[in-house]
Amino acid sequence: MNNVVANTGYTSTGLQPRRFSERTTANMRGRAELTTPRTGLNKRMYGDNSKTTELNVNEQFVRACENGDYSTVHRILLENEKYNIDVANQLGRTAIQLAIENEHLEVVTLLLYSCDGQKIREAILLAIYLGHIQIAEACLHHPTFRRLNDKRAITDSEGTFWQTPTSDDTQFASDITPLMLAAQHNRTEIVQLLLSQGDRITKPHDYHCKCIECRNRFKFDSLRHAQSRLNAYRGLASESYISLASIDPILTAFELGRELRDLSGKEKYFKNEYMLLADQLSAYAVKLLDKVRGHKELDCVLGKTGKESEEKYVILARLYLAIKYKEKSFVAHSNCQQKLVEIWHSQIRNIFKLNPLLILLLTISYIFILPFACVIYILTSWSIYTIKFQRFLKQPCIKFIGHTITYAVFIVLIIVSSFLFASESKKDLVQLKNISTLSDTLNKALEDQKTNNYSNSTCRIYPVPNFVFRADKPTWIDITISVFVFGFLWREIKQAYNDGLQDYLLSWNNIVDSCTTILYISSFALKYYVIFQVKESRKILDNENFQGDVGRLCDLSKTAQEDIYRTFYWLNADRYYWVPFDPINVAEGLFAIANILSFARICFLLPAFQHLGPLQISLGRMMSDIGKFIIIFLIIFCGFMFGLNNLFWYYKKSVREKVEIYRHLPESGDENENLPAEESFGTMSSTFKTVFWSLFGLAEKEGVQLNHYNKRFTETVGYLIYGAFNIANVIVLLNMLIAMMSKSYEAIEEHADVEWKFARSKLYMEFIKDGGTLPVPFNIVPTPKSIYRLFCNIYAWMTKSKDPTNEQPVESGHSPSAIRPTPRANRRQSTNGNGLTTVSNGQLSNVPNNHRARQGSFFDQVLTYRKVMDRVIKRFLLHKQREEQEEIREGDFEELKQDVQMLRFELLNRLDSTREDLYKNSHLLNEGVLLVGELLSVLSNDTNPLIKENFHLFKKSFYATTDSGIQSNSSTLSTLSMPNLTLPVQTSALISNSNSAPNLYQEESDIDPIDTVRSLTAVHARLSNIKEEEEEYLHNTLKYIDDDEEEEEEVEAQHMSVQTTEDDNQRFFSKL
Domain ranges of the chain: 2-32+891-1071, 43-290, 328-400+765-884, 428-608, 622-750
% of the chain with per-residue pLDDT over 70:
66
pLDDT band at residue 615 under the 50/70/90 scheme: confident
pLDDT at position 1034 is 53
What phi and psi, each to the nearest 5 degrees, are found at residue 841? Answer: -65, 145
The pLDDT of residue 991 is above 50: no
- Express each pLDDT in 139-188 by its tens digit: 888 887 777 777 665 555 555 555 555 445 578 888 888 999 999 999 99
More confident residue, 120 or 34: 120
- Express each pLDDT in 550-586 by its tens digit: 767 667 777 887 888 888 888 888 888 888 899 999 9
More confident residue, 1069 or 725: 725
Report, as an integer, the average pLDDT of 978-983.
41
pLDDT band at residue 37 under the 50/70/90 scheme: very low
Report, as an integer, the average pLDDT of 920-941.
69
The pLDDT of residue 260 is above 70: yes
pLDDT band at residue 431 under the 50/70/90 scheme: low
Q: What's the CA gap between 675 and 668, in Å, rounded? A: 12
Q: What's the CA gap between 89 and 809, in Å, rounded? A: 63
pLDDT at position 158 is 56
Q: Which residues contact 294 (CB under 8 A, 6 or more apart)?
A: none
pLDDT at position 504 is 87
- For 986-1068, strand residue ranges (E) read none
pLDDT at position 1063 is 53
pLDDT band at residue 412 under the 50/70/90 scheme: very high
pLDDT at position 460 is 52
Alpha carbon dihedral 594, 599, 601, 606, in 10-degree steps, equals: 180
**Range scoring the smallest mean pLDDT among 210-214, 666-670, 755-759, 1050-1054:** 1050-1054
Cβ count within 10 A of residue 220:
11
Report, as an integer, the average pLDDT of 13-26.
39
Q: How far apart are the first and last CA of the chain?
A: 24
**Range scoring the smallest mean pLDDT among 87-96, 251-260, 336-345, 811-820:** 811-820
In order, the DSSP letters of 294-354 are HHHHHHHHHHEES-TT--EEETTHHHHHHHHTT-HHHHTSHHHHHHHHHHHHGGGGGGGGS
β-pairing, 312-314 vs 304-305, is antiparallel
% of the chain with per-residue pLDDT over 90:
18
pLDDT band at residue 451 under the 50/70/90 scheme: low
Report, as an integer, the average pLDDT of 746-754.
82
The pLDDT of residue 595 is above 90: yes
The pLDDT of residue 6 is above 60: no
Under a CB-based contact definition with an 8 Å cutoff, are residues 164 and 108 in contact? no
**Range scoring the smallest mean pLDDT among 26-35, 224-233, 1024-1033:** 26-35
pTM score = 0.70
pLDDT at position 939 is 61
pLDDT at position 582 is 92
Give alpha helix (H) positions in 506-605.
508-541, 544-551, 558-571, 583-600
Q: With 0-12 CB in 10 A as exposed, 13-18 as middle and 19+ as buried, what is 259?
A: buried
pLDDT at position 54 is 36
Under a CB-based contact definition with an 8 Å cutoff, are residues 768 and 761 in contact? no
pLDDT at position 618 is 80
Report, as an integer, the average pLDDT of 667-690.
76
Residues forming beta bridges with residue 831, ordered by sequence position? 837
The pLDDT of residue 249 is above 80: yes
The yes/no answer on whether domain 43-290 falls in CATH 3.30.300.180 is: no
Report, as an integer, the average pLDDT of 728-733.
82
Cβ count within 10 A of residue 931:
20
Report, as an integer, the average pLDDT of 247-269.
92
pLDDT band at residue 936 under the 50/70/90 scheme: low
Report, as an integer, the average pLDDT of 494-499.
88
Largest separation between any pair of C-alpha atoms in the chain:
190
Q: What's the CA gap between 686 and 486, in Å, rounded? A: 43
pLDDT at position 820 is 37
The pLDDT of residue 881 is above 90: no
Average pLDDT, the chain: 74
pLDDT at position 1066 is 52
pLDDT at position 557 is 79
Report, as an integer, the average pLDDT of 211-218.
88
The pLDDT of residue 860 is above 50: no
- Express each pLDDT in 1019-1055 by its tens digit: 555 555 655 665 565 556 555 445 544 444 454 445 4
pLDDT at position 171 is 80
More confident residue, 821 or 55: 55
Q: Which residues contact 154 (CB under 8 A, 6 or more apart)?
A: 117, 120, 121, 124, 145, 148, 160, 177, 178
pLDDT at position 513 is 92
Q: What's the CA gap between 366 and 175, in Å, rounded? A: 67
Report, as an integer, the average pLDDT of 998-1013.
46
Q: Which of 194-203, 606-615, 823-832, 918-927 has the highest mean pLDDT?
A: 194-203
More confident residue, 707 or 947: 707
pLDDT band at residue 689 under the 50/70/90 scheme: confident
Give alpha helix (H) positions in 170-316.
178-184, 188-196, 212-220, 222-236, 239-245, 249-266, 271-290, 294-303
Q: Which of 367-381, 442-456, 648-662, 695-709 has the highest mean pLDDT?
A: 367-381
Report, as an integer, the average pLDDT of 377-390.
82
pLDDT at position 493 is 92
